[in-house]
A and B are shown apart, each in its own frame.
Chain A
Amino acid sequence: MIAEALTGRQLVLTGVTGFVGKVYLVMLLEHFPGVGKISLLIRGGSQGALRRFEAIADTSPAFRPLRERYGSRLGEFLGERLQILDADLDRDHCGLSDPQRHSLRSADLFVHCAGITDFDPDPKKALNTNTLGALQVAKLAKAAHAPMLHVSTCYVAGERDGRIEESLRVGHAPNGTLFDPQSTVDNALRAIHKPRRGDRIEVGKSLARALGWSNIYTWSKGLAEHLLASDPELQLTIVRPAIVECAHSFPFPGWNEGINTAGPLAWLISTAFRRLPAQPTHRFDIIPVDEVARGMLITTAAILHGTAPKIVQLASSTLNPLTFERTIELTGLGLRRYVRRGGGTERERRWFKHLDPVPASGGGWFGPIAIRSWIQPIRDGLSTLIEREPPTPVAEKAQSILKQLTRTQGDLDRIEDLLTLFKPFIHDHNWQFVADNIVELSNKLPPEESAIAFTLAHIDWCQYWVDVEYPGLMKWSIPILRGQTVQADLPSVPPLQITAAARVASK
C-alpha cells in the first residue's frame, strides 16, 4: 500500500532538520527507496541548505540506518532522490525563486513538519513560523494542486479534559469562544508589536489563555489549523502527534534530540527533588518518535490513495494509557537499572537510586516554595556572618555552605520554572486523545509492510520506559539540561557530498 503509493511520486517536505522530520525522512528512504523525488525545503543560513543537509546526513545519529546500508554510496543514493532548496517559511512563497516554485508544480504531496516547539517562545517567531509559515506552504501546495499533510499537535485541544475527538470546528476556540481565525492572527500581530521580548511573551501568553490554549506553542499551532482548514481550495489532512519521545526501535532504541517533556521530569529526579507534582491518575500521552514517523508514512500513503481522513491523532492515551503515577514509578525504576548497569553520577549511585520519586498532587504541588522559605533565611544569616569577618576556618565553611545553598537556590528556580511550564500537561488536565483513524489505516497494511505498522497499542511501557526511554534521555537529552553538549557522530572521510543531481534549481 505504501510502496505502491510512493513509487515514482514527488513529495515536498519541510522540517527535515527537526527531530520528527529526520526520522520520517530516514524511515521513508530506508523502507521505500522507490520514491520518485523528495524536495526538501531547508533554511540554509550562512552555509546554504545543501551543505547544511549534507552535514546532517553525515553526522546525525538519526541517519545511521542509511549510512550503514549505503556507506560511501549514500551521497549518490540521496542525490538520485532528493532536491534540496534553500527556503524561508517567514517569507512569501517560502522565499523560493520562480524556477524553484516551478519545480514543485508537479509535486504529489506537501508534508509540512517544520515548526518551533518551545512552549513559550517569542510569539512573533511562533506566529511567523508555526502559523503564517504553514500558510506559505499551503500556497505552494495549492499552486501544485496537491494535498497537504500538516503536522500539528494533539495539544491544540487546549485546556479541556476528557475524550478529545479527531475533529476540528473552525472558528470555535478550545474554551468555546467563537473567533475569526484571520482577524485573530492580525490582531495578535499588532498586540505583540513590542520592543522587549519578555513583554511580547507575556502578551502572547495572555492571548493564548484568552482562547483556552495553555501556551504560545499550542496557540500558534491551533491558529494554523483553523486558518488552513478554513481554506476551501486546500486539500488538507492534519496529523496531531501527542508528546514525542525517544525512539522505540528506529533509527535505534532510545534516539532523541533536544529537550522534550519527559526529559525535564527525568532531570528533576536526578536532583534531590523527589516529590513530583502530577495528578497520579491523569494520562501521560507519549508516543515514541518512530511511531510518529510510521503514523505519518501511513497517512502519507492514504492521502496519495485519496482515502485519508481529515484529522489523524497519533496518541496513546486511549489506545494504551500510561498514567503519571506509573510514569513516575517507572522513572525511578529506570534510574535504578541505569545505575546498576554503570551509568549515573556518584550522587545517583550512592543516594538517589534508593530514594524513589513519588507523585505529589494537591497541596504538595509547590514543594520548591516550601524549601525556599527556609533556605533564604539561612543564606541571609551566612552572608551577615561573612560580612563580620569571622576567623578564617569559620569564614571558609560559611562561604562553602553559602555557595552550595546558592546552587540549590538556582536549581529550585529552574525546577519551579519547569514545573510551571509543564503544569497544564502533568497536573491540570486529563486528556484522552482518540486515535481510531490511524489504527484503521494501519490495519489495512499488507503483511510485507508490517514493519511500518502503527504498534503503539502494543508497546510494553515498563520495558520501553526502563530499557529505552530512560537510558535514551540520559544519553541524548539530560546532558543538554545540564549545559553539556551531545556529541554527533563523526563525519565520514571524505565528508558526505550529495551528488550534482540534487543541486538542480538551487539559488
Chain B
Amino acid sequence: MSTDPTHTAAFFRAEGTLLPRPTSVSVAWLAANAQGIGERIVRLGTLGLSLPLWPADRRTARKLSWSALRGMSQDRLTVLGEEYFHLRLKDSLRPVGLDLLAQAKKQRRRTVLVSDSLDVIIAPLAAHLKVDDWIANRMELRNNRATGRLIDPIIGSFSGTELRSYADEHGLQLRQSSGYGASAEDAVLLSAVGLPCAVAPDRALRAMAHNHQWPVVNA
C-alpha cells in the first residue's frame, strides 16, 4: 500500500546536515553583539563558564549558555538573529544537505527543519530554504526581555515523544518519513522514522548507522 507523500515528512536536523556550526557559536555571537561593551564582556564571560561543562553534562552546559542572553531585548534578538543568518549561515550551507532537501521537496514530503538553536535564527533560515515547517528553541520573554530560560519543549536531542506528537498533529506517517542527522544526538530522530539517513556523521553516529544498517551520505 503506497502512502500519499504529503502524509510523510523529511526531518532535517539543521546542525550537521545543513549548518556546519554548533549552536554555542550563535549564542556567543549574540552575546558579543549586546548593546553595551561592558554588557558584551559580562555575557561572554557567562558563556565561557559553560564551556568546560559540554563534554560531561551537555544539558547543564546548554542551560548555562542560554542564560548568557538573559535581559537581552526581544527586538535585539529578532534583529540580530536575522543578521546572524545573513552574515554567518547563508553562505555556509552544506551542499550535501541542500541536495537532500531538494530531493525531499521533489518527493513532495513535508520538509521540517529541526534545530536546537533559537527561533530568531532558524526563522530566517527556514524562510530562505523554503521549508514547510521548522522546530527550534524559543526563549522565554518577560516584559519583552529574555529570561535566559528556554520554553518547553526544549529542543536538544529531539525526543521520540516530541516527534510522535508532531507527527500526530500533522497527520504524518513516521514509518514512511525520512530523517537526516549528523551526530549521536540525532539517533532518536533517526530511530523514529522509517527512512533514516546519517549525513557526514560523527564517529558515534557512523558506528550506530553501521550497526542499524542506516544509509550514510558523506559530504
Q: Which residues of A contact B (CB under 8 A)?
A: 326, 329-330, 332-333, 336-337, 340, 355-356, 358, 461-462, 466
Contact = CB atoms under 8 A, between A and B. Distances in A.
B23 interface: no
A356 B36 contact: yes
Interface string B63-81: 0000000000111101110
A326 B79 contact: no
Given A337-B83, A340-B86, A329 B36 contact: no
A333 B80 CA distance: 8
B86 A333 contact: no
A340 B87 contact: yes
Nearest to A333: B79
Contact of A340 (B36, B78, B83): B83
Interface residues of B, number: 14
A333 B75 contact: yes
A239 to B, nearest CB: 31
Contact of A326 (B75, B80, B86): B75
Interface of B: 35-37, 73-76, 78-80, 82-83, 86-87
A462 B75 contact: yes
Contacts of A326: 73, 75
A329 B86 contact: no
A356 B87 contact: no
A358 B36 contact: yes
A312 B79 CA distance: 35
Contact of B79 (A355, A358, A461, A466): A466
A329 B83 contact: no
A358 B87 contact: no
A302 B65 CA distance: 56
A160 B35 CA distance: 31
Given A356-B35, A356-B36, A358-B36, A330 B83 contact: no
A125 B192 CA distance: 78
B87 A329 contact: no
A355 B73 CA distance: 17
Secondary structure of the B contact surface, majority rule: helix
A10 B2 CA distance: 70
Contacts of A461: 75
Contacts of A355: 37
A338 to B, nearest CB: 11
B89 to A, nearest CB: 14
From DSSP, what is the main secondary structure of chain A's interface residues? helix
A336 B83 contact: yes
A462 B75 CA distance: 6
A356 B76 CA distance: 11
A317 B197 CA distance: 54
A333 B83 CA distance: 10
Contacts of B82: 337
A486 B79 CA distance: 29
Contact of B73 (A329, A337, A358, A466): A329
29 contacts: A326-B73, A326-B75, A329-B35, A329-B73, A329-B75, A330-B75, A332-B35, A333-B75, A333-B76, A333-B79, A333-B80, A336-B79, A336-B83, A337-B79, A337-B82, A337-B83, A340-B83, A340-B86, A340-B87, A355-B37, A356-B35, A356-B36, A358-B35, A358-B36, A461-B75, A462-B74, A462-B75, A466-B75, A466-B79
A329 B78 CA distance: 12
Contacts of B87: 340
Contacts of B73: 326, 329
Contacts of B80: 333
Contacts of A336: 79, 83
Nearest to A463: B78
Contacts of B36: 356, 358
A355 B36 CA distance: 7
A369 B213 CA distance: 73
A356 B79 CA distance: 13
A371 to B, nearest CB: 18
Contacts of A462: 74-75, 78-79
The 10 closest A-B pairs by CB, nearest first: A333-B79, A462-B75, A356-B35, A358-B36, A466-B79, A330-B75, A462-B78, A329-B35, A340-B83, A358-B35
B199 to A, nearest CB: 30
A329 B86 CA distance: 20
Nearest to B38: A358
A404 B30 CA distance: 35
A340 B74 CA distance: 20
A191 B27 CA distance: 63
A329 B145 CA distance: 13
A336 B87 CA distance: 12
A138 B199 CA distance: 77
Contacts of A466: 75, 79
A462 B74 CA distance: 9
B139 to A, nearest CB: 15
A336 B81 CA distance: 12
B103 to A, nearest CB: 32
Contacts of A330: 75
A470 to B, nearest CB: 11
Contacts of A340: 83, 86-87
B47 to A, nearest CB: 18
Contacts of A332: 35
Contacts of B86: 340
A461 B35 CA distance: 18
B127 to A, nearest CB: 15
A340 B76 CA distance: 15
Nearest to A462: B75
B29 to A, nearest CB: 13
Given A462-B74, A462-B75, 9 more contacts: A326-B73, A333-B79, A333-B80, A336-B79, A336-B83, A337-B82, A356-B35, A462-B78, A466-B75
A461 B144 CA distance: 12
B167 to A, nearest CB: 33
A466 B76 CA distance: 11
A358 B82 CA distance: 22
Contacts of A333: 75-76, 79-80
A332 B79 CA distance: 11
Nearest to B32: A354
Specify which of B36, B75, B76, B82 lies most central, judged by the most chain A CB atoms within 10 Å of its CB: B75
Nearest to A355: B37
Contacts of A337: 79, 82-83
